[in-house]
Chain A
Amino acid sequence: TQLLEQSPQFLSIQEGENLTVYCNSSSVFSSLQWYRQEPGEGPVLLVTVVTGGEVKKLKRLTFQFGDARKDSSLHITAAQPGDTGLYLCAGAKVDSSYKLIFGSGTRLLVRP
């Protein structure tokens, strides 16, 4: 079974701080997605990375796909209370890219 390990599981930081969330696997993925989920809602796609070593930026969020396409990171600069939520990474299997393997999530709390 392919697994995606996310760390940390929980993060509580002060507004203005920087943070990095990691998503690791021993398996290769054809692409990797990051979602954010807020209470009472479904996950919402933030970004998809496809190429090994790819870096994408979304305002204060920077996403990187590992060179070997086995891992990814999400870095948030100057976190704001509006960044609070559950962050999920999801890898697409190489042989069946329509199937996503989800990490267990990182719950982020940004205190004002």
Chain B
Amino acid sequence: DADVTQTPRNRITKTGKRIMLECSQTKGHDRMYWYRQDPGLGLRLIYYSFDVKDINKGEISDGYSVSRQAQAKFSLSLESAIPNQTALYFCATSDNRAPRGNEQFFGPGTRLTVL
């Protein structure tokens, strides 16, 4: 069974629609992250959370919001999707208690297309 799961795996939507991407983990990690991946740009951090009450903006948070519903669940919302938000979105987790707490474990990704 996958430790970090994302739903949906693929989504096509139209400009202006509200979209929610969901992430769940069974690793018991406290930290969770949302990234987007674009060709030639690597992974860029959108939001991260250290626990249910701690949410932080990453380098490209404009146009996105997040919710940490439980330690195991972290969702990403696009309130009004626009075409330049077309990308691959990845959720990741890390364990603050690990010797090098920054090693991250990624979900399989969501391919989002905004028309």
Residues of A within 8 A of B (CB): 1, 4, 6, 9, 31, 33, 35, 40-45, 48, 50, 88, 90, 92, 97-100, 102-105
Q: Which residues of B contact A42 (CB under 8 A)?
A: 4, 90, 92, 106-109
Q: Which residues of A contact B104 (CB under 8 A)?
A: 33, 45, 90, 100
Tell me which of B4, B31, B107 contacts A98 (CB under 8 A).
B31
Residues of B within 8 A of A (CB): 4, 31, 35, 40-45, 48, 50, 58-59, 90, 92, 94, 96, 100-109
B38 nearest CB neighbor, chain A only: A104
Sample of 15 A–B contacts (CB below 8 Å): A42-B106, A43-B106, A44-B106, A48-B100, A48-B103, A88-B42, A88-B43, A90-B104, A92-B102, A98-B48, A99-B45, A100-B102, A102-B43, A103-B42, A105-B42
